[in-house]
Amino acid sequence: MKKLRILLFSVLLSFTIVAFNKNVKANEELPTPIHTITGDYDEVNDVYKSTLEISLGFEESTSGVLIQYQLFEGLPPSTWTVYSNPIPVQRRGNYRLNYRAFTPSGVYGSTQGFNIRVDIPILETYPNVIRNNQIIKHQDTGEPIILPEYSPREKEIRGV
C-alpha cells in the first residue's frame, strides 16, 4: 500500500512538473496582442470625448491563437470574454482593459492592460437602463428596460 502511494504521488508530481514547464514555455511562444482605439481623443486632458471602439489583434496572422479580454470599471470581473468584434465604449467612465492571447488547449500568454478615461456627455434622451456597458433587460420577458420620461409639474406639489 505504501509503495502504491509513493508511485501515485510521483506520477502526479511528474504530471505537475510537465504541465508547469509546458505553460511556462507556451507563455513565451504565444504572440502578444496589440490594441487599437478609434475615437475622438483629447491629448491635453488625456481623455476620449466620444463613443470609441477598441480593436484587439496580432501584428502577424496566427492560427489557433485567440484573444480574451476583460473591460471593467472598479473591481475586475471573474470571467474572461473571447474577443470576436471591436469592443464599443459608449458612456462616461474610467475603464480598465485587460487582454491576453490563449489557445483552446488552455495555454495562456501574459496579460496586458491599460486604463481608458472616457468623458462622453450624458444623453438624457437615451431610453434604456445601462449597467457595465450593457443594456439591462427584464428578467421575465428579455425586453430592454425603458426609463420613464421626465415631465415637469406645472403645479406645486406638497406632502406631509
pLDDT digits (tens, 9 = 90+) for 97-117: 999 999 998 899 999 999 999
Looking at residue 3, what is its pLDDT? 62
* Residue ranges, the chain, pLDDT below 50: 13, 17-27
Q: Would the pTM count as exceeding 0.85?
A: no
Residues 133 and 126 sit within 8 Å (Cβ to Cβ):
no
Distance, C-alpha 25 to centroid of its chain: 26
Can you tell me whether residue 115 is helix, strand or coil?
strand
Q: Tell me if 67 sits within 8 A of 146, measured CB to CB.
A: no
DSSP code, position 14 = H
Res 109: pLDDT: 92
- Look at residue 2 in the predicted model and tell me its pLDDT: 61
